[in-house]
Amino acid sequence: MDLVESLRNKLTLVDGLRIAALLACVAPLAGSVIIAVLGWWQERFVKSVALIAVILSFLGGCGVLGFYSPMAETKRIYANRPMESVILAREELMILGRDQDTVRIEALWGLDGISAVLVWLTSLLTLSSVLISMRSIRERIQEYYMLLLLLAGGAMLVFLAFDVIFLYIFFELTLVPMFFLIGIWGGPERRYAARKFLIYTLAGSLIGLVALVAYVVQVRELRQAARLDVTVSRGKLERPSDRITALPDLAETAARLSRSSEQDSELREKWERLQKWTFWGLFLAFAIKVPLVPWHTWLPLAHVEAPTAGSVFLAGVLLKLGTYGFLRLVFPLLPDIVTGWGGSLLAVLAVLGIVYGSLCAAAQKDIKRLVAYSSIAHMGFCMLGMASLNTIGLAGSVLEMINHGLYTGGLFMLVGAIYERYHTRSMLDLGGLAKRLPVWAFFMVGMSLASIALPGLNGFVSETLCLAGMFYKSITLSVLGAFGIVLGAWYMMTMLRQVVFGPVRVPVRYQEEDAIQDLDMYEWMALALPMALCLALGLYPKALLDIIHPDLEGMANLYQMLRRGG
C-alpha cells in the first residue's frame, strides 16, 4: 500500500497525461511494427495484435480526456496567451545559423483541449475501424492492419505536434497509408480514386509547406526589424525563444506583431503582405483537405472507392486535419487576415459548401455518395463556426469536428455493412430493410437523425452553436447556413424512407427471408460506442465543451482585441 501511496504522490496529472498520450499514439504504431514483423510467419496473430493495439490506444485516448479535464479549468488563468499547451516532450533537431545568431529547430509535442478531444476521437474511430474490418477484409490482412494502424498513429501525432514542421510532416504522412488503403482494398475505380486523392492533397500541402517555411523565416526577420526581440513581460526581461518552429512561440510573435504594427505603418505593410501570401498558400493546402467547395471533387470519389474503414477514417479523422490546420495554423498565425477579409472568404465558402453539398447529396442514388456529399455540408458548418471567430462559433466548430466524426463514421460503417450483404448501395435496389435487418435499421435511423441535427442528439448542439456564432458576425450567412439543416433533413429522410422503411425491396439473389444475417458481434460493437456517444453528447455536451472552452476563449479574446484595436 505504501508503494501505491508514494507513487500517487509522485505522479502528477501531467505525468498521467504524458503516459496516456504516449499510450494513445504509440500503441497503434507499435502494433503496426509488430504486425509488420510477426505477420510474415504468423498471419493468424495479425487481427488480435491489431485489436489489442487499438483497445490500448482507446484507453489512452480516454485517459487523455480524463487527465486533461481537471487541467482545463486552471488554464483559464492563461486565457490571454495564445496556444498555451501542456508540453509533453521536446527534442532538439537542428541548430541553424551562425555565431550568436542561431535558431533552433525543435520537435515540440504538446496537448491542449482541442488536441485532447481530437486524439480521443481518433482513438475511438480507430477502434471502430478495426472492429468493422474484422469480417470484411479478407485479403492481404497483414498489410491492411499495418497501414490502418500507421494511419491512426500518424493522425494522432498531428494533433499532438506543436511545431510547424512536425505538424506538417505527420499531416503529409497520413496521405501515404490512406493512398494504399484506397488503392489496394478499394472498389472498382480504386486506382484512379487513390491517385486523385494523393495528387490533390499533395499538391495543396506542398504549396502549404512552401508558405509555412517562408513564413517562419520572414516572421523572424520582421520580429528583428520590429525590435520585438527583447521584451518586458510580467515585470522581467524576457528574451524570446530561438525556437522558430514552435507553434506557441509563433502564435505569440504573430499577436505581438499585429499589436505593435498598429503604430508603425512600414511594419504594418510588410506584416500584412507576409500574411496575405502565407494565407493563400496555407488556405489552398487546407481548403483541399477540408474540403471547401470548389476544391472538393476528390472527396466523393475517394469515399465511394475506399474500403469501409478507409471511409470512416477519411471522414472521421482526415477531414479534421484540414479544419484543424485552419484552427491551429491559419487562425493564430495570420490574425489580421482572418479578422479581415480572410475570415469573410472562409465564411462565404463555408456557406457555399453547406448549400452545394446538401443539394448534391439530395441528388444521389448511391447511399455512400450521399453520405460523402453530406460530409461536405457538415464540414461547411464546421468552417462557418470557425470563421465567426467568437467563442460560441469556435466551440461549435470543434464540437462539430467530433460529432461529424461520430455520426458520419457510423453512417459509413452502416453503408459498408449493407454493401457487404447485398453488394449494392443504390437506393433504387433497396427498401424496407427494417424488416430484414432490425438492428442495422435502428443504428441507421439513429445515426441519420444525429446527422440531421435532431435536438437531443449531438449534431444539433454543434450546428446550432456554429450558426449562433456566425449570427454575431453576419445574419445573412447564418440564415443561409441554416438552410443546410433543412436540406439535410430532406435528403436524409428521403433516404431513410426509401431504404429503411416501406415495402421490402432487395436484390433478387437475396429475396429469401433469412438469406442475410443482421449485424454481427464486431459490427455491433463498432457501432454501439459512437451511437451511445451521439446520444450522450447531445444530452450533455458540456463534458467536452468544458475541455475545449478555455483554449477557444483565449483565441476569441485575441481576435476581439485586434478588431477593437484596428
Q: Which one of residues 176, 359, 468, 525 is an interface residue with another protein (CB under 8 A)?
A: 176
The minimum distance between CB 176 and another protein, in angstroms, equals 8
Question: Phi first, then psi: what are they for 178, rounded to 5°?
Answer: -65, -40
Task: Name residues whose C-beta falls within 8 Å of residue 462's C-beta, 6 or more positions apart in sequence.
Answer: 381, 385, 396, 397, 399, 400, 402, 403, 404, 541
Q: Is 264 in the site for another protein (CB under 8 A)?
A: no
The minimum distance between CB 38 and another protein, in angstroms, equals 13
| CA separation for the pair 203, 218 (Å, rounded) | 23
Closer to another protein by Cβ: residue 191 or 365: 191
**Window of 88-96, 228-236, 316-324, 382-390 that interacts with another protein by CB under 8 A:** 88-96
Interaction pattern, residues 29-68, with another protein; x per rule: CB under 8 A:
-----------x----------------------------
**Window of 74-82, 173-181, 246-254, 444-452 that interacts with another protein by CB under 8 A:** 173-181
User: Per the structure block, which three cell numbers stand in for 154?
Assistant: 500518424
φ/ψ region of 234 (left if φ > 0, alpha if ψ in -120 to 50, else beta) reads left
Q: Which one of residues 96, 521, 539, 543 is an interface residue with another protein (CB under 8 A)?
A: 96
How far is Cα of residue 489 from the mean position of the Cα atoms in its chain?
24
SS (H, E, C) 53-79: HHHHHHHHHHHHHHHHHHHHHHHHHHC
What angle separates helix 164-173 from helix 190-225, to the nearest 10 degrees?
170
The minimum distance between CB 439 and another protein, in angstroms, equals 36
| CA separation for the pair 257, 250 (Å, rounded) | 10
Q: Is 22 in the site for another protein (CB under 8 A)?
A: no
Coil, strand or helix at 91: strand
Closer to another protein by Cβ: residue 182 or 384: 182
The minimum distance between CB 179 and another protein, in angstroms, equals 8
Alpha-carbon distances, residue 424 vs 291, 338, 431, 506, 538 (angstroms): 27, 44, 12, 9, 32
From the number of C-beta atoms within 10 Å of its C-beta (0-12, 13-18, 19+), residue 486 rates as exposed
Q: Does residue 137 contact residue 47 with C-beta atoms inside 8 Å?
A: no
Q: Facing residues of 107 across strands? A: 91
Interaction pattern, residues 182-201, with another protein; x per rule: CB under 8 A:
-xx------x--xx--xx--
Task: For 192-233, list the strands marked E by DSSP.
Answer: 231-233
Q: Which one of residues 14, 52, 213, 489 is an interface residue with another protein (CB under 8 A)?
A: 213
What residues from 341 to 360 belong to the interface with another protein (CB under 8 A)?
Answer: none
Q: Does residue 507 contact residue 429 with C-beta atoms inside 8 Å?
A: yes
The minimum distance between CB 155 and another protein, in angstroms, equals 14
**Element (H or E) spanning 339, and its range?**
helix 335-339
**Window of 209-217, 261-269, 402-410, 521-529 that interacts with another protein by CB under 8 A:** 209-217
Closer to another protein by Cβ: residue 216 or 444: 216
Closer to another protein by Cβ: residue 67 or 180: 180
Q: Which one of residues 84, 172, 305, 523 is an interface residue with another protein (CB under 8 A)?
A: 172
Count of residues that bind another protein according to CB under 8 A: 35
Q: Is 89 in the site for another protein (CB under 8 A)?
A: no
Interaction pattern, residues 131-160, with another protein; x per rule: CB under 8 A:
---------x--x-----------------
> Which residues of the shown chain bind another protein in the complex (CB under 8 A)?
40, 92-98, 101, 103, 140, 143, 165, 169-170, 172-173, 176, 180, 183-184, 191, 194-195, 198-199, 202-203, 206-207, 209-210, 213-214, 217
